[in-house]
């Protein structure tokens, strides 16, 4: 007995400093939840100033923390944005330039560094990297590919594909909360809640169908853009007018037997869904719209479905925030809301993304970090999605690998008033996927505070210059306007420096050939 007590005493003596050390370490390391949506335009949130709809739960993250008003992506599509999130690198260095490939998880991904720093990590929901996240994640339960909205399949980390009954955003929330409840509480955690919403075909939870039907959404100023002097903009395939489909996108006269999305419905779900969309189809038939009236109707229907899908998303974000409050986790948990890229809500007459124009170049990003970020902080500095990984590592007190191309913006978030922090005032962009889908010609370019210079190189050789201070809607390409030669030379010089800094050899060759 005595010997046992002695043993326990010595064991405690030995382990106590380790336990204490781990405890101190963990106390300094906050939990991190990144709610990462898909195609949710920053201009579709009330946090970023939309007054027609409201996203109270998303807004809560910004008002209790910081809103980043100039957060840009490096390549505005889904998979590449996620690859950049994981690696802190541009597409040409992480190897993921296009959607629908297989992301190489053998390379360094920042959640693996978090794991080395005692974090427990999980990705739940949409991943869309053509691969499973076996490196960097202790747990995953992800949608195959794009996933579907109703009664979706998930692939779990035992590699089983399981179909669940319910709406995708609700399921992702409940799986996330299940994981939080079952996690190892001795460790800090990093959880990505990978949302499918608000991706095309913009399907809300059944309870939100028609949520915005009473609102007439005004057309954006450049809705009827004629794409003058912009070859690539003229040549795209992403207009509400021609590309957006009445059946697949706007659910007019759905052929339920043929459509893989809807043949998962239970009879009850189908009833609710078709009750709503049958009315829309009837209205469509009765109106017999043509020309501008038809386009306008499509635009309205598009936004009504899109915003209703965002409403389901926002409610689910509220559930996560409530869970954190109820469990006392809010105090020591950083919450981020971001989207994988921006999206067009009728600007230039478009939906989708890809172009280096503002609505798709810029994405939502807000972060709440109690006790560290003052409520209602606004960060106007130029931040990029290459900076997300190093910032999260910095928050976790982990070392940032030298190969990461971005820089931590934690110091901007913590900033005291009147302290000037030197920061970049330009960003570099490079988009590749062509011709399908949407026929957007590959391009690279630079955005400064005042200007944007873009070079479209595949299938054409075409430069564009915008003075954003005079032309925020980017409809006047002034590249060939006399008097701009000096501005262009200066921007090309800056662009080339960025290309060299970020080691984009392919772009450098093109710049040197010019």
**Chain contacts with Ca ion (rule: CB under 5 A):** 38-39, 78, 340
Q: Which residue minimizes CB distance to ligand SGN? A: 78
**Shortest Cβ 148–ligand SGN spacing (Å):** 11
Q: CB burial class (10 A; 0-12, 13-18, 19+) of residue 142?
A: buried
Q: Is 195 in the site for ligand SGN (CB under 6 A)?
A: no
Residue 129 or 209: the one with the smaller Cβ distance to ligand SGN is 129
Tell me the H-state helices in 335-387.
Answer: 358-361
Interaxial angle between packed helices 485-501 and 505-513, expressed in degrees from 0 to 180 and rounded to the nearest 10: 150
Query: Given the complex with ligand SGN, which of 79 and 136 has the nearer CB atom?
Result: 79
Residue 372 C-beta: closest distance to Ca ion, Å: 29
200 binding partner (options ligand SGN, Ca ion, none; Cβ < 5 to 8 Å by kind)? ligand SGN
* Minimum gap (Å) between residue 305 Cβ and ligand SGN: 13
- Whichever of 29 and 196 has its CB closer to Ca ion, that residue is 196
| Nearest distance in Å: CB 437, ligand SGN | 5
**CA 175/CA 154 separation, integer angstroms:** 10
List, in order, residues 6 or more apart from 129 with CB less than 8 Å away: 79, 82, 83, 96, 102, 103, 105
Distance CA 514, CA 491 (A): 14
> In DSSP terms, which residues pair with 125 in a beta bridge?
142, 194
The partner in contact with residue 314, picked from Ca ion, ligand SGN, none with C-beta cut-offs of 5 to 8 angstroms by kind, is none
Report the alpha-carbon distance of residue 104 to residue 95 in Å, rounded. 8
By beta-carbon proximity to ligand SGN, the closer residue of 78 and 180 is 78
Helix (H, G, I), strand (E, B) or coil at 452: strand
The residue from 97, 183, 362, 438 that contacts ligand SGN (CB under 6 A) is 438
Q: Which of 29, 60, 89, 200 binds ligand SGN (CB under 6 A)?
A: 200
Q: Which of 53, 78, 233, 356 binds ligand SGN (CB under 6 A)?
A: 78
Do the strands 451-456 and 462-467 form a parallel or antiparallel pair, or are they unpaired?
A: antiparallel
How far is residue 425's CA from residue 381's CA, in Å, rounded to a whole number?
7
Minimum CB separation of residue 195 from ligand SGN in Å reads: 11
Q: Which of 31, 36, 37, 38 binds ligand SGN (CB under 6 A)?
A: 38
In angstroms, the CA 53 to CA 467 distance is 30
Residue nearest to Ca ion (CB): 78
Spell out the long-range contacts of 435-438 with Cβ–Cβ below 8 A and sequence spacing 24 or more: 435/459, 437/237, 438/236, 438/237, 438/238, 438/243, 438/352, 438/354
For ligand SGN, the closer CB: 254 or 413: 254
* Burial zone of 9 (CB within 10 Å; 0-12 exposed, 13-18 middle, 19+ buried): exposed
Residue 352 sits in the site that holds ligand SGN (CB under 6 A): yes
Q: Is 317 helix (H, G, I), strand (E, B) or coil?
A: helix
77 binds ligand SGN (CB under 6 A): yes
CA 187 to the chain's CA centroid: 27
CA distance 328 to 339: 26
Among 64, 195, 201, 305, binds ligand SGN (CB under 6 A): 201
Retrieve residue 142's tokens: 């992800």
Q: How many residues interact with ligand SGN (rule CB under 6 A)?
A: 12
Q: Which stretch binds ligand SGN (CB under 6 A): 151-159, 193-201, 283-291, 415-423?
A: 193-201
- Cα of first residue to Cα of last residue in the chain, in angstroms, is 85
In total, the chain counts a number of residues equal to 514
Nearer to ligand SGN, 394 or 433 (CB): 433
Instruction: Among 199, 251, 362, 441, indicate the residue that binds ligand SGN (CB under 6 A).
Output: 199
Q: What part of residues 125-154 is at the interface with ligand SGN (CB under 6 A)?
A: 128
- Examine residue 39 and tell whether it contacts ligand SGN (CB under 6 A): yes
437 binds ligand SGN (CB under 6 A): yes
- Closest separation in Å from C-beta 462 to ligand SGN: 22
Can you tell me the distance from the alpha carbon of 149 to that of 201, in angstroms, rounded to the nearest whole number? 9
**Residue span binding ligand SGN (CB under 6 A) among the ranges 27-35, 89-97, 199-207, 315-323:** 199-207
> Are the beta carbons of 136 and 86 closer than 8 angstroms?
yes
| Residue 99 in contact with ligand SGN, rule: CB under 6 A | yes
Q: How far is the CB of 395 from ligand SGN (least distance, A)?
A: 27
Q: Which does 352 bind (CB under 5 to 8 A by kind): Ca ion, ligand SGN, none?
A: ligand SGN
Pairing status of strand 451-456 against strand 443-448? antiparallel
Binding residues (CB under 6 A) for ligand SGN: these are 38-39, 77-78, 99, 128, 199-201, 352, 437-438
């Amino acid at each position: 007995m005595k010997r046992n007590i002695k043993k326990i005493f010595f064991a405690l003596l030995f382990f106590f400093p380790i336990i204490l050390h781990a405890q101190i370490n963990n106390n300094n390391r906050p939990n991190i939840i990144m709610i990462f949506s898909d195609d949710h335009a920053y201009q579709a949130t009330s946090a970023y100033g939309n007054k027609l709809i409201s996203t109270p739960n998303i807004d809560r993250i910004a008002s209790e923390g910081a809103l980043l008003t100039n957060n840009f992506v490096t390549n505005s599509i889904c998979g590449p944005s996620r690859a950049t999130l994981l690696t802190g690198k541009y597409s040409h260095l992480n190897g993921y330039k296009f959607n629908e490939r297989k992301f190489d998880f053998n390379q360094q991904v920042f959640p693996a560094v978090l794991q080395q720093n005692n974090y427990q990590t999980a990705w739940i929901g949409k991943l869309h990297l053509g691969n499973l996240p076996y490196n960097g994640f202790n747990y995953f339960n992800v949608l195959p590919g794009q996933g579907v909205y109703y009664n979706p399949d998930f692939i779990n980390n035992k590699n089983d594909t399981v179909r669940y009954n319910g709406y995708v955003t609700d399921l992702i929330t409940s799986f996330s909360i299940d994981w939080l409840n079952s996690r190892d509480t001795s460790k800090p955690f990093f959880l990505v809640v990978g949302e499918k919403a608000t991706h095309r075909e913009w399907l809300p939870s059944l309870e939100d169908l028609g949520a915005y039907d009473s609102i007439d959404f005004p057309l954006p100023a450049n809705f009827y853009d004629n794409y003058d002097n912009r070859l690539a903009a003229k040549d795209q395939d992403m207009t509400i007018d021609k590309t957006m489909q009445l059946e697949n996108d706007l659910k007019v006269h759905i052929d339920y037997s043929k459509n893989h999305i809807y043949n998962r419905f239970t009879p009850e779900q189908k009833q609710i869904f078709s009750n709503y969309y049958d009315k829309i189809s009837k209205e469509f038939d009765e109106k017999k719209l043509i020309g501008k009236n038809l386009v306008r109707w499509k635009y309205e229907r598009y936004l009504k479905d899109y915003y209703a899908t965002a409403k389901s998303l926002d409610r689910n974000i509220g559930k996560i925030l409530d869970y954190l409050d109820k469990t006392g986790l809010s105090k020591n948990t950083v919450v981020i809301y971001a989207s994988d890229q921006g999206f067009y809500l009728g600007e230039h007459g478009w939906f989708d993304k890809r172009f280096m124009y503002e609505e798709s170049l810029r994405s939502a990003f807000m972060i709440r970090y109690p006790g560290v970020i003052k409520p209602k902080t606004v960060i106007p500095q130029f931040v990029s999605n290459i900076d997300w990984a190093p910032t999260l590592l910095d928050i976790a007190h982990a070392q940032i690998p030298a190969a990461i191309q971005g820089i931590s913006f934690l110091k901007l978030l913590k900033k005291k008033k009147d302290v000037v922090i030197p920061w970049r005032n330009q960003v570099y962009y490079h988009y590749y996927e062509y011709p399908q889908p949407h026929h957007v010609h590959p391009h690279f370019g630079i955005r400064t505070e005042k200007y944007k210079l873009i070079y479209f190189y595949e299938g054409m050789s075409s430069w564009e210059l915008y003075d954003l201070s005079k032309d925020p809607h980017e409809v006047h390409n002034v590249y060939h306007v006399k008097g701009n030669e000096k501005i262009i030379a200066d921007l090309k010089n800056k662009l080339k420096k960025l290309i060299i800094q970020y080691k984009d050899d392919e772009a450098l060759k093109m710049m040197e050939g010019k």
